[in-house]
Amino acid sequence: MVDQAGADIKMNALDRSGNRNTRDSFYLGMSIFSLVIVLVGFSRSFYLQDYSGLPELPVHLIVHGTVLTAWFFLACLQPALVWNRKTPLHRQMGIAGVIIAVAVIITGVWTVVMRDAANIDEYPARAAGNLASLFMFLFCVALGVYFRRQPAHHKRLMMMASIPVLAPALDRFARISPLNELFGKLLYWFPAPAEIAFATVAFLALLVLVVIHDLVHERRVHPGTVWGLVAIFIMSPATTAMIVATGGWLAFVKWVA
């Protein structure tokens, strides 16, 4: 009993000393990194599209891009609120997060349908890859909401939800000259163009970084991280390819398009 009381006092002292915020800074840092990649990666093709000389974007891409931008900004705001101990506001903003997450899924499926409808019979794998990131995002957000009363689970799952939908931004980021040439040389061993290689390797590296963070600070892989990894790998492109290959999906795409 005395030992347990001493442990509780020690933990409270650690919280007051700021170590809790030092640990939370990882999630804030990951969110800021993701937002920077999005803003830089899509700067030419989306945010500064009017000045880039590129063709005008269709409505579905404008809507989807706007919604995703809102998600990544909110993903930075939420850990920042926790950092500043504004937990009540963080919880209130969580409602907005759920609404934006639903909008990400709806506009994401809309984008997949509109982009791939013309070639869906010939290239179902393309739709599978696009849908995979959306399903990974959906499962992680759903788990994050389910574990909302367990902060250690919640913050990991919500942060991990952003990693799959970051892939297109990573792809665009790697196309920036001279980064494209640099990544091509560094990832020469990867059997794909430089931008795809970078997006794939960066995606996996971010997941590994989450695991390493757990091992350093928790001396184990936290159950919240395990849940996120399971959700991500279950909804891999191989799984979504089976969904896309069904007659029901093809009929849905043709009906919507």
Burial class (CB within 10 angstroms; exposed 0-12, middle 13-18, buried 19+) of 21: middle
Residue 189 confidence (pLDDT): 76
Average pLDDT, the chain: 82
Percent of the chain with pLDDT strictly greater than 90: 49
pLDDT digits (tens, 9 = 90+) for 122-175: 555 566 777 888 989 999 999 999 999 999 999 999 999 999 999 889 988 888
- Most confident segment among 6-10, 43-47, 62-66, 132-136: 62-66
High-pLDDT (> 70) share of the chain, %? 77
0.95 surpassed by pTM? no
For residue 130, is it within any domain?
yes
Domain count, the chain: 1
Torsional class of 53: left (φ above 0), alpha (ψ -120 to 50), beta (otherwise): left
CA 210 from centroid of its chain's CA atoms: 13
Q: What backbone phi and psi angles, to 5 degrees, belong to 43?
A: -60, -45
pLDDT digits (tens, 9 = 90+) for 18-55: 445 445 689 999 999 999 999 999 998 899 888 877 88
Considering the domain boundaries, does residue 162 fall inside one? yes
Give the domain range for residue 79: 23-256
* Residue 242 resides in a domain: yes
H runs (alpha helix) in the chain: 2-17, 19-41, 49-52, 59-83, 87-116, 124-146, 151-165, 167-174, 179-186, 194-218, 223-234, 237-244, 247-256
Confidence band (pLDDT; 50, 70, 90) for 63?
very high
| Any domain includes 229 | yes
Residue 52 lies in a domain: yes
The answer as to whether 97 is a domain residue is yes
Is residue 9, in this structure, part of any structural domain at all?
no
Q: Are the C-beta atoms of 140 and 161 separated by less than 8 Å?
A: yes
